[in-house]
Amino acid sequence: DRTVREIAAGEVVERPASVVKELVENALDAGAGRVAVAVENGGIDGIRVRDDGAGMSPDQLPKAVAKHATSKLGDIGDLDSGVATLGFRGEALHTVGAVAELTVRSRPPEADAGAELTVDHGDDGGVEPAGCPVGTTVEVRDLFGETPARRKFLKTPATEFDRINAVVSAYALANPDVAVSLEHDGREVFASNGDGNLRSAVLAVYGREVTESMVDVDREGDAGVSVSGLVSHPETTRAGREYLTTFVNDRWVRDGDLRGAVVDAYGGQLAPDRYPFAALFVEVPAGAVDVNVHPRKTEVRFDDDAGVVGAVRSAVREALLDHGL
Ligand code: ADP
Ligand code: MG
């Protein structure tokens, strides 16, 4: 039923960037060393995510796109125990298949051939043999093509692409040991080398000038809060806040309080409406943070909001002071 599908879709898949996020998380969950994202027209016309991870056997493919199918949730206790994998709801592929033309092509390392499955706006086309490299390639076309109410909410391709860029950038920064690349309309936007170095990932994503201006943050704070990463020189800023990237327990998080704490640390040195670049990792005890506030999982709630915010502010402040800034 279309209404049910549309409502369900809104939980996970709101726009091209949310599709990209789910597919990249799946690739990382599959242990990929390389994740290549290519999109067309801001992702509206096409999204392709290719990885070299564990892959799926032909009989796993239908399960991957089935409703509430996940291979990741051992028992419900996992939900409380700090969530080891990024995805655990088993909804993403099913939902994308319901609102787009989805093709999943996959080959596990031990198999000598691959297989593919296409789901066309909810119609499952069955599994076919396919030639493909080891790993998984997921292609999404005609997103919301049969759900005009949702399609109508998409912004311009440029805006949709900005959001995709923010998502893929965040995952590249959070996973310096994975080579992550992004291509838009056939042009490479960035490619990290996966050498395990945060500065290398930052260089790929933010460019040389920004990276050279960045100072190291590294502080084991009070109450179990640790803050590490890189923040830019007060004069190396951007009008938008989307490159002030923050992670909590390695999960990408967009939180106004955390961003505010970073901005505060500059003590009025930033020009009005300018934001520093950052790739900042906050570690808090697993029980002190609730990551399941929203199905799209980029929001968190801390037990001790003020404590975390204070720790982030002091850590960044200390790093800037150390560099005479
Ligand atoms: P979830 O990630 O919450 O389990 P998804 O709908 O995103 O749910 O994926 C369903 C299942 O499909 C996963 O649990 C996994 O077994 C399989 N899968 C999806 N993407 C990949 C991938 N890139 N590589 C290997 N397996 C995958
Ligand atoms: Mg998933």
| CA proximity to 82, closest of 247, 304, 221, 284 | 284
Q: What residues have their beta carbon closer than 5 A to ion ligand 2?
A: 26, 87, 92
CA 38/CA 83 separation, integer angstroms: 28
pLDDT for 236-269, tens place per residue?
Answer: 999 988 889 999 988 899 899 999 999 999 999 9
The reported pTM is 0.90
Cβ of 22 less than 6 Å from ligand 1: yes
CA 37/CA 164 separation, integer angstroms: 10
Q: Which atom of ligand 1 is nearest to the CA of 27?
A: 23
Let me know: does 282 contact 308? Beta carbons within 8 Å. Answer: yes
Cβ of 26 less than 6 Å from ligand 1: yes
Closest protein CA for atom 27 of ligand 1: 26
Let me know: does 250 contact 286? Beta carbons within 8 Å. Answer: no
Mutate to test the pocket of ligand 1, among 93, 96, 99, 103 (most ligand atoms within 8 A of CB): 93
pLDDT for 42-68, tens place per residue?
Answer: 999 999 999 999 999 999 999 999 987
| pLDDT at res. 122 | 93
Closest protein CA for atom 1 of ligand 1: 90
| pLDDT at res. 90 | 75
Two tokens, residue 176: 């310096």
CA 176/CA 280 separation, integer angstroms: 13
State the distance from the centre of ligand 2 to the C-alpha of 165, rounded, in angstroms: 19
| pLDDT at res. 16 | 96
Mean pLDDT score of the chain, rounded to an integer? Answer: 89
| CA proximity to 122, closest of 147, 151, 145, 99 | 99
CA 131/CA 172 separation, integer angstroms: 28
CA 208/CA 247 separation, integer angstroms: 22
CA 17/CA 113 separation, integer angstroms: 31
Helices in 175-281 by DSSP H: which ranges? 198-206, 208-213, 256-265
